[in-house]
């Protein structure tokens, strides 16, 4: 019963480095999301995907890239890390069936610090 799994849980990056946050879900969900959470700001949507091969920008996409080659995986790429990307990142997923009531399931988060 894994649900949504994110790796790594913690990471420290130097300015200008690149990295990928991995996200996988085992619930056969069509929709997947990446959010970032900053203190006092709630969660902001970075990118989302409605199915394999389809991605779209959310509210704060600058500095990030995503891909969705399979239903299960939705990695988030940071190409040139900046201090402004220090945040907690959450991956989430949802089934496309209306009967789900739009419940979105979250991973446990990835804490990223850029120094």
Partner 1 sequence: AQSVTQPDIHITVSEGASLELRCNYSYGATPYLFWYVQSPGQGLQLLLKYFSGDTLVQGIKGFEAEFKRSQSSFNLRKPSVHWSDAAEYFCAVATGYSTLTFGKGTMLLVSP
2 is a contact residue toward partner 1 (CB under 8 A)? no
Give strand pairing partners of 19.
Answer: 78
Backbone angles phi, psi at 85, to 5 degrees: -95, 5
Measured from the Cβ of residue 59, the count of other Cβ atoms closer than 10 Å reads 11
> Looking at beta carbons only, is 17 or 28 nearer to partner 1?
28
Which structure tokens are listed for 28?
């056969």
> Which range of residues in 20-28, 63-71, 77-85, 90-98 is near partner 1 by CB under 8 A?
90-98
Q: How far apart are CA 33 and CA 49, in angstroms?
A: 6
Residue 108 contacts partner 1 per CB under 8 A? yes
Q: Does 52 participate in binding partner 1 (rule CB under 8 A)?
A: no
Binding residues (CB under 8 A) for partner 1: these are 31, 33, 35, 40-45, 48, 50, 58, 90, 92, 94, 101-109
């Amino acid at each position: 019963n894994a649900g949504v799994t994110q790796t790594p849980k913690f990471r420290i990056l130097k300015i200008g480095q690149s990295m990928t946050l991995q996200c996988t879900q085992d619930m056969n969900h069509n929709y997947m999301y990446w959010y970032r959470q900053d203190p006092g700001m709630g969660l902001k949507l970075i990118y989302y995907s409605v199915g394999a091969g389809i991605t779209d920008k959310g509210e704060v996409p600058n500095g990030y890239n995503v891909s969705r080659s399979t239903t299960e995986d939705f990695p988030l790429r940071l190409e040139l890390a900046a201090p402004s990307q220090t945040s907690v990142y959450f991956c989430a997923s949802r089934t496309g069936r209306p009967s789900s009531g739009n419940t979105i399931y979250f991973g446990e988060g990835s804490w990223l610090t850029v120094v």
